[in-house]
Amino acid sequence: MKYELKVYKIENYTVINISGKIDSSNSEEAEAELNLMLENNDKYYILDLCGLEYISSAGLRVFLSASKKIKNNKGNFVFCSVSEEIKEVFDITGLLHVFTLCETLDGAVEKIKSMAL
Amino acid sequence: MQLNLNDGGEPVKPKIAVVIGSGGIKPACAIPLFEFLETSGINIDLLIGCSGGAIVAAMHGFGYNSAGIADLFSNHLTKSLFSHIDYRTLLGIAKMPLCRFDKTRGILKPQRLMDVLKKIFKNSSFESMKIPTLVQVTDVDTGEGALINSGDIASAVYASAAQFPFFPPIKIGNRWYVDGAYSSPLPVLEAVNRSYDVIIAVAIEQQLKTESKSFIEYLHHFISRSYTSTQKKQMALAIDMHHHEIVVINMHFDELINMWDVDKMPVIIETGRRIIEKKKAEISAAIENFKNKKR
């Protein structure tokens, strides 16, 4: 399975675009790569899932691990552009109400601004 | 299943658990899953079931094949099991003179259901199970969950499915047990705690009407929603704690299917077949990825 992580900035907030597929075949690699991206001085992140096609439970643990890392640093994050299929995975695994989801990237920027206040 | 060997010569076959959640007779939708695993040569190392899921898990663990499980549901779990009202209990609930309600009683008399379960499991104990099987129950005094894997199968399965106060609790050992769904409707955490590698979790989801029209319907809907909430919280924790893959199979039913609607068994199995078809690749990948990591 293949995935891709791309990082860029919008208004001083770090956006990480995650695309492709994440399962137990590549989750350790994805977790290490994502953790590296979180090792800057930022506290607030947007995880843009517009290109994420599939995620298994091992992939969800990558997000849980990232969540712990960000919150341990007194920061916060939101997901945006989550497809209906991935939303359903979040729902049946009980993570829909654990994570903050925004419909669009613009909405996510507004949300993260309010969290950073 | 073909075993692969790592450098040390140890088998790398993942330990596989199948967990079947509560949902009346709808957990029979797991039958196509059993068929898929069998035809793919994938052995189940542990079965865990809760409530209706405990009936299905125990039947499979006991050795019934797919056709046998469907027949048992259709021929034995009929409406008559759920129509034997205990009027003394009802009068006790109403606090009528000389009648009292206590934890040993239920609105329905349990004997017919218990007789059917004893017949299905031939008065056998868990030690005779062909696949190790655990049954989720709830201690009626403490509200804590417990797992039963020894003693009389029928009693444990009855306890797991006994939705109190409709059915009375049953005493096993020195504890009184009821429906496992009150504590863990889809006991995935139990498989995680036991370090199973690939966990296949069959979750039952029933589309509920937005408005309830009677006390019983309202209560049933409230309990169902409460189960779903508990299930999701436990699933999130299980995923966080687990080391490999939990394949969650969400069996969604648009049509209302009651415990006694055994005439809808073809719909239940067809729903399972349709959903399992979409999950086959995910299950196979979880197993293959484990083997690849251990090579």
Q: Which residues does chain A have within 8 Å of residue B232's beta carbon, measured at their own beta carbons?
A: 91-94, 97
Q: What per-residue confidence (pLDDT) applies to B8?
A: 55
- Mean pLDDT of all residues in B143-167: 96
Tell whether A64 lies on the interface with B, counting CB pairs under 8 A. Answer: yes
- Structure-model confidence comparison of residues B22 and B74, the more confident one: B22
Residue A35 touches chain B, beta carbons under 8 Å: no
Q: What is the mean pLDDT of residues B162-178?
A: 95
Asked if residue B210 has pLDDT above 80, the reply is no
Higher-pLDDT residue of B192, B212: B192
Whether pLDDT at B91 is above 60: yes
Contact B241, A20 (CB under 8 A): no
* Å between A18 CA and nearest CA of chain B: 20
Please compute the mean of the pLDDT values over residues B200-220 and round it to a whole number: 84
The pairing of strands B245-253 and B198-206 is: parallel
pLDDT-based confidence at B88, cuts 50/70/90?
confident
DSSP A86-111: HHHHHHHTT-TTTS-EESSHHHHHHH
Best A28, A92, A95, A96 member to test B by mutation, with max B CBs in 10 Å, is: A92
**Confidence tier at B53 by pLDDT (50, 70, 90):** very high
The predicted complex's ipTM stands at 0.94
Please provide the average confidence, as pLDDT, over all residues in chain B: 92
- Give the amino acid at A109: V
**pLDDT at res. B10:** 60
Distances in Å between the Cα of A63 and the Cα atoms of A3, B151, B193, B260 are 14, 42, 21, 42
Range scoring the smallest mean pLDDT among A26-40, B37-51, B88-102 = B88-102
Residue B52 near residue B202, CB atoms below 8 Å: no
Interface check A29 vs B, CB under 8 A: no
State the Cα–Cα distance between residues B267 and B274, nearest whole angstrom.
10
B248 vs A92: CB contact, 8 Å cut-off? yes
B26: closest CA among B207, B153, B151, B159? B207
Residue B3 clears pLDDT 70, i.e. is over it: no
Which residues in chain A touch residue B231, judged by CB atoms under 8 angstroms apart? 94
Q: Which long-range contacts (CB under 8 A, 24 or more apart) does A97-104 make?
A: A97/B232, A98/A67, A98/B236, A99/A63, A99/A67, A100/A76, A102/A78, A104/A80
CB within 8 Å: A94 and B233: yes
- DSSP 8-state secondary structure symbol assigned to residue B211: S
- A23 close contact with B: CB closer than 8 A: yes
Contact (Cβ atoms closer than 8 angstroms) between residue B64 and residue B249: no
CA–CA gap between residue A61 and residue A26 (Å, rounded):
12
**Considering only CB atoms, which chain B residues are within 8 Å of A97?**
232
The rounded distance, in Å, linking the Cα atoms of B204 and B19 is: 11
Kindly state the average pLDDT of the residues B164-171.
94
pLDDT along chain A (117 residues), means of 10: 94 95 97 94 94 98 97 96 97 95 97 91
CA dist B24 and B258 (Å) reads 7
